[in-house]
Amino acid sequence: MTTTITPSSRGFNAPTSPIRALEAASRAAVDAGKTVHFMNIGQPDIATPRGMIDAYRSYDEKVLSYSPSDGYPAYREALASNYYDKVVGSLPPITAEDIVVTVGGSEALLFAIAAVTDPGDDVLVCEPYYTNYAGYTHLLGVTASPVTTHVRDGYQIDPAMIESAITEKTRALVLPTPGNPTGVVLSLGDLEKITEICLRHGIFFICDEVYREFVYDQPAGTLAPSMLAVAGAEDIAIVIDSVSKRYSACGARVGCLVTRNKDVRRAALHFAQARLSPATVDQLAGLAALSTPPEYFTDVIETYRERRDVLVAGLESIGISVPAPQGAFYIAVPLPVDDAADFCSWLVSEFDLDGETLCMAPLGGFYSTEGLGRNEVRMAYVLDKQVISRCVEILEAGLAAYAEKE
């Protein structure tokens, strides 16, 4: 008798990433000679600050050793004094002892949810949301309960809807600002209202702020308001951060969890000790990144603002009206199709316009509510303006060809 050994049902039923779902099909298209324009993934083409690259090149230790589990003290101290001092406003400063360095922002998110929940608990998410919110809650045996936002309202978040969704099982709210995939930026007033709700119900507020610098239609140097600047939120605020998008350094895999709550920080450190340490050389590159001149961000934000405007205007020109994102570099786009996942797969696998095609992320996987996002996609405007214009042309031609096929 042969015994069949299978993985856990949790593994089989884990949500797949809509961002990377078309990776194999895209590779096949490239191997077949097509030019694929990747708007499915937030991989910036902006140059990484020279200081980070030089830090990698100048590393010359005899042994590549472990770092402390919560990150090098020098890096945490520099983050606290050279970066978060600009974020917290008039509140007491963040210290090195409020920070745990993580393997990317994703690990910080995992640690944060794990630190405040037990299996069977719920966390609230505003859909559409970053897909790892569902992935990590599933991994931890926690339910991601959705509060739905809509394109007709510009995906704005209503604090009253958040409060009405809280139950006795709710342990935390997980919310990004600027938002991925919506581009919504919460004001300090919004954060304060939501904080009051969380305090009233005794739940944590996990705020994903990895796109903090990416704010448009604001004076140069403006940062998105941070939970770290909300008075009274010290015990419930947990901030997720990362160097990935801020410095166009997605491969560096350095993030951090920031909280003034000592018990949460201690729990996160326990998880950090279990995985041993964050990357040694990448932290040195992250430390070097803190010396990046302000002009770098001025230029980067202007570049993304122009790209956003080209994409929004291009979509409008082919009959697709979308609200301009306030921040980050993604846009959620409703398409005139019944099944965006099928359309995206067909577009990259079977369609091309003079040898070029387009890869987008179907938005259905960014929702928990069954059926929502079925006709939507996420587009990342991380490509040159001319390429974005070409992508709109490909999309228009692809939609027409797909309609004829149907």
Interval 261-306: pLDDT, tens: 999 999 999 999 999 999 999 999 999 999 999 999 999 999 999 9
pLDDT range class, residue 221, cuts 50, 70, 90: confident
Question: Quick one: average pLDDT of 110-139?
Answer: 96
pLDDT given at position 381: 97
Q: Is pLDDT above 70 for 19? A: no
What pLDDT score was predicted for residue 38?
95
Instruction: Specify the pLDDT at position 289.
Output: 97
Mean pLDDT of the 7-33 span:
75
Q: How far from 339 is each of 6, 335, 364, 369, 377, CA to CA, in Å?
A: 32, 9, 9, 16, 10
Closest C-alpha to 80, from 68, 94, 90 = 94
Q: What is the pLDDT of residue 54?
A: 97
Tell me the domains of the chain and their CATH numbers.
9-47+295-405 (3.90.1150.10), 51-289 (3.40.640.10)
pLDDT at 268: 98
pLDDT for the residue numbered 406: 65
Residue 178's pLDDT is 97
Its pTM stands at 0.93
pLDDT, residue 23, reads 84
